[in-house]
Structure 1
Amino acid sequence: MKLRVLGSAAGGGFPQWNCNCVQCTAVRAGSPNHRARTQSSVAVGGPDDWLLVNASPDMLTQLQRSPALQPARAVRDTGIAGVLLCDGQIDHSTGLYMLRERGTPLPLWTTRPAHDDLSLGNPILRVLSHYCGVAWNELPLDGTAFTIPGVADLRLTALPLDSKPAPYSPHRESPVPGDNIGLVFENVATGRRVFYAPGLGEISPAVWEAMSTADVVMVDGTFWTDDEMIRLGFSQKTGRSIGHLPQSGAGGMLEWLGRLPATTRKLLIHINNTNPILDEASPERQAVEAAGVEVSFDGLEISF
């Protein structure tokens, strides 16, 4: 079984279309130390049938770059057996529009709060009812494991994370469990596990348990410092306040990852264009690598 990184950047991608920060300017100039990235999404399964986890706005580009997701068993075919969303944010749901030509209702797994966000605040699911339609499945949040029909040997568990829902959510100012989730992917044939959480603002005891028992941990790499966006003049909000634990500093992601067993493979994903770790020659990138942590890139494949 494989996990394929379709996109590894945070919202806006890298370079971001309207950003002229040092990082985005460097990748446009062809810097050998800066690799372009699309917005975060992964596919899990294979060899022919896959679960798409998060549907990024860059979906078409990502599918074109991933021939394994098009097994071509018929004139019209897809390797996407279903789609699972970690939240109802634009960056993880807009790509659903790109799957509208499907001939049958799209199998979709979300929590109830994410379903409400995408039915009321940003009614993607209502719009899709005029095209392929959606066969919605509610994700259990009580630790019950579940499977995806068509994706052999894959067992999943959803884990509620502390986070705020999208700005258009009916309960934006009153977060509830299920606004954002992490996932445990388990290969039932081997027993190996991956913990995946592209948006992670706090390491709760439940999250730490999931991280500690996984063979591979792929987690939030959005910001290097908590005040990154404030310092660069792009925002007045800290990383933690919008649900992203920074890598550096006391209690940061690198400190937590450093507590995991040496045998655990550790990766960062959902990396913002402002994060200096995107410069492969930077001191910050060297610090990440010295800590035994990898920086995900588009096209990376992990077998588990």
Structure 2
Amino acid sequence: MKIKILGSSAGGGLPQFNCNCDNCKGYRAGKPSIRRRTQSSITISEDGENWVLFNTSPDILEQIHNSPFLHPQQRRETKIKAIVFIDAQIDHTTGLLMLREGCPHEVYCTKEVHEELNTSFPLFTMLTHWDGGGTHYHEVATDGTSFEIPVMPNYSFKAVPLISNAPPYSKYRDKPRAGDNIGMVVINKQTGKRLFYLPGLGVLQQAIIDEMRIADVLLVDGTLWTNDEMIQNGFSSKLGTDMGHVPLSGEGGLIETLDTLEKPRKILIHINNTNPILDETTQEYRELIRHNIEISYDGMHIEI
């Protein structure tokens, strides 16, 4: 399996347009230890020609431009053959509007995400007005049933429900349903190698930890270093856990759990611009490296 990180940041990217936190300010000043990052998205392939896209961030056009393997070779074509949504958040879905010329798209998501994207944030409804009829919907079950995507015939996909939060515009905000947020396990049916992708994670349930333990590559939510990071920076009154993200540090933090996992390659994704690990000169960055945890970056290539 070929895995390409298109975007490694949380919502807003780095630098965020209206933010002057240490990281955004440092990047604008040319600090070499801080990278430009677009909003979270990955794409995977079996053959290197046909790709399954996970989430369509608002930065999708920039991400495709920076990814020659996704460039068309015919007069009109797309290398993106299927799109999987793991939630209905703005920073994971808005880019679908930028792909309207490629309609119809083969879209895989839970019925809860499908509902949100037809009502509260009606992207799917809007796209029916473009040539091709918008999207072809494939329901993703949350009961552990696996499914296949035709362009990756030697792989199976399985959704893992996560306790996180519904989007701010949703009527289910602060009372999310099982299908509002999922992680995705992708398994090579021949070798058994496993990718576990979960860019949003609000609660470390034992079932999630068990799934992490058997993964070969773990791409996991690294949004915040501390639970009160946004409060301390003066950007929000909410804790990370209120927003649906387990902090990395402290008692009960993600690092504590990742330290117990021996098998997977542990890589953080969906990292907020305020997180000090994004500056490679910081103590927090060095601590993360001591724990043998990697930080994804835009353009990163992973192969299982």
Same fold by TM-score greater than 0.5: yes
1:42 aligns with 2:42: yes
Q: Which residue of 2 aligns with 1:259?
A: 260
CA 1:173–1:231: 2 relative to 1, 3 Å? closer
Q: Which residue of 2 aligns with 1:115?
A: 114
Q: Which residue of 1 aligns with 2:124?
A: 125
Deviations 1:128-151 (A, max 9, x none): 000141101110111111111222
Q: Which residue of 1 aligns with 2:11?
A: 11
Q: Which residue of 1 aligns with 2:278?
A: 278
Q: Which residue of 2 aligns with 1:87?
A: 87
**Which is worse superposed, 14-23 or 201-210?**
201-210
CA 1:173–1:246: 2 relative to 1, 3 Å? closer
**Cα contact 1:163–1:243 (8 A) shared by 2:** yes
Distance in 1 separating the partners of 2:175 and 2:251: 28
**2:118 is paired with a residue of what secondary structure?**
helix
TM-score norm. by structure 2 comes to 0.97
Distance in 2 separating the partners of 1:154 and 1:47: 14
The Cα of 1:68 is off from its aligned counterpart by: 1.1
4+ residue runs over 3 A deviation: none
**Cα contact 1:161–1:177 (8 A) shared by 2:** yes
Distance in 2 separating the partners of 1:177 and 1:93: 19
Q: Percent identity?
A: 48
TM-score norm. by structure 1 comes to 0.97
The Cα of 1:152 is off from its aligned counterpart by: 3.5
Distance in 1 separating the partners of 2:155 and 2:67: 20
**1:121 is paired with a residue of what secondary structure?**
coil
Deviations 1:222-268 (A, max 9, x none): 0000000001110000001111001100111111100001x420010
Amino acid at match of 1:164: N
**Cα contact 1:48–1:71 (8 A) shared by 2:** no
**2:119 is paired with a residue of what secondary structure?**
helix
Amino acid at match of 2:175: S
Aligned residues: 301
**1:120 is paired with a residue of what secondary structure?**
coil
The Cα of 1:171 is off from its aligned counterpart by: 2.5
Amino acid at match of 1:300: M
Distance in 2 separating the partners of 1:50 and 1:44: 6
Q: Which residue of 1 aligns with 2:157?
A: 156
Gaps of 5+ in 2: none
The Cα of 1:185 is off from its aligned counterpart by: 1.2
Q: Which residue of 1 aligns with 2:294?
A: 294
Distance in 2 separating the partners of 1:42 and 1:180: 16
Distance in 1 separating the partners of 2:267 and 2:108: 25
**Cα contact 2:212–2:264 (8 A) shared by 1:** no
Q: Which residue of 2 aligns with 1:98?
A: 98
**1:119 is paired with a residue of what secondary structure?**
coil
Distance in 2 separating the partners of 1:195 and 1:272: 20
Amino acid at match of 1:139: V
Map 1:153-302 onto structure 2 (within 5 A).
153-261=154-262, 263-302=263-302
**Cα contact 1:51–1:84 (8 A) shared by 2:** yes
Distance in 2 separating the partners of 1:200 and 1:163: 6
Distance in 1 separating the partners of 2:173 and 2:240: 17
**What's the Cα RMSD here?**
1.1
Distance in 2 separating the partners of 1:209 and 1:144: 17
Deviations 1:50-105 (A, max 9, x none): 11001000000000111112351x21111111100010010000010111101x52
The Cα of 1:173 is off from its aligned counterpart by: 4.4
The Cα of 1:189 is off from its aligned counterpart by: 3.1
Distance in 1 separating the partners of 2:16 and 2:147: 36
